[in-house]
Amino acid sequence: MFQSVTFRSLEKRSAATRQLQQEVEDFALKQDNVRIQNKIYGFEKLALDESQPVYRRSGLYGLSAISVALLKTKNESFFEQIVQTVVIRLEDRDPKVQVAACEAIFNVIKNYREVVLKSKFFEKIFDTTISLIGSSFVEVREFAKKVDDKIKDTVFACLTMK
Amino acid sequence: MSNDEVSGVAWRYNASRNVQFDLDKFINQVCQRFETSYDINIAMILIDWIDQLHSSPSVNIIRCMPRFVPKFLSVIELQEGNHVIDLGKKALAQLNHFLEDLKDPRYRSL
């Protein structure tokens, strides 16, 4: 499972991600926090692996999928733990890992919205995203702009509600 | 990690969650990044942020104008390359929006 979310084929990767989400949703419905925590630990370990960028990307895809599954079941307990790891990887030295981290943080902001704005990581997320917009890698820059747009949507939606 | 420990983590997280989005702190962060931005792409994005914050009725970003002016002027006076010209035009347009606001004493003030 840990390796399968990083398949080259988008189809296979999507299938593995869906399977992971389903498993985590089932754990969450059964309130099996230990199994959820174990899944998070597994992907966190991969995301924090310093030896192979492909492991870090795999970890980020997994954490992103878990965060979506947890929100579906209204379980926000592990939010900060997941975001903390993703934020670290936004500053990765490998541009492909940075792109994966952008994708993950995009999904987190899209799904958690105001929770992200109120979290202690928001300042860091905004600051790092802005820095990535100045990246010399086009793909990183484009993904960072998407994240910035999502932050904008969320901030202004929040201001409109006030 | 046992179920109790996990529940403990979850409880501590939920207890610390009751935090409001700090708009003033965020505006200050946008200002700081703009003041210190040397990359054209970053400066463009930050002017977009300033423009959109300025458009929001619930935000009085014009009070930060004294902080923006030196950066706006330095960007406007740069005249090399198409990207820099675009940035200069954007900065000038934004500065004009601020000045329009200041002309009207009933509107927002410093």
| Res. B71: pLDDT tops 70 | yes
Mean confidence (pLDDT) of chain A: 89
Could you say which of A79, A118, A162 has the minimum Cβ distance to residue B19? A118
Residue A75's CATH number:
1.25.10.10
**Residue of chain A whose alpha carbon sits nearest to that of B31:** A127
- Of the pLDDT bands very low, low, confident and very high (cuts 50, 70, 90), residue A4 is low
pLDDT at residue B2 in the model: 45
Q: Which domain holds residue A140?
A: 4-161
pLDDT at residue B10 in the model: 44
| CB contact B24 to A (< 8 Å) | no
Tokens read off for B102 = 């200041």
| CB contact B46 to A (< 8 Å) | yes
Interface test with B, best of A75, A124, A139, A159 (most B CBs within 10 A): A159
Could you say which of A114, A133, A148 has the minimum Cβ distance to residue B21? A114
Sorted by sequence, the CB contacts under 8 Å of residue A89 that are 6+ apart come out as: A47, A56, A60, A97, A98, A100, A101, A104
Q: Between A and B, how many residue pairs show a Cβ–Cβ distance under 8 A?
A: 70
pLDDT at residue B27 in the model: 92
Query: Is A118–B41 a contact, with Cβ atoms under 8 angstroms apart?
Result: no
pLDDT at residue A11 in the model: 78
Q: B15 or A67: which carries more pLDDT confidence?
A: A67
State which amino acid sits at residue A9.
S
Average pLDDT over every residue of B74-98:
81
- Condensed to tens digits (0 to 9), the pLDDT of residues B26-62 reads 999 999 999 998 888 999 999 999 999 998 888 888 8
pLDDT at residue A94 in the model: 96
Task: Determine the 3-state secondary structure of A19 from DSSP.
Answer: helix
Residues of chain A in contact with residue B35, where contact means CB-CB under 8 angstroms, are none
Query: A102-131: buried (b, 16+ CB within 10 Å) or exposed (e) per residue?
Result: bbbbbbbbebbbebbbbbebbebbbebbbb
> How many domains would you assign to chain A?
1
pTM (two decimals): 0.83
Residue indicated by tokens 């754990």: A27
| Res. A34: pLDDT tops 70 | yes
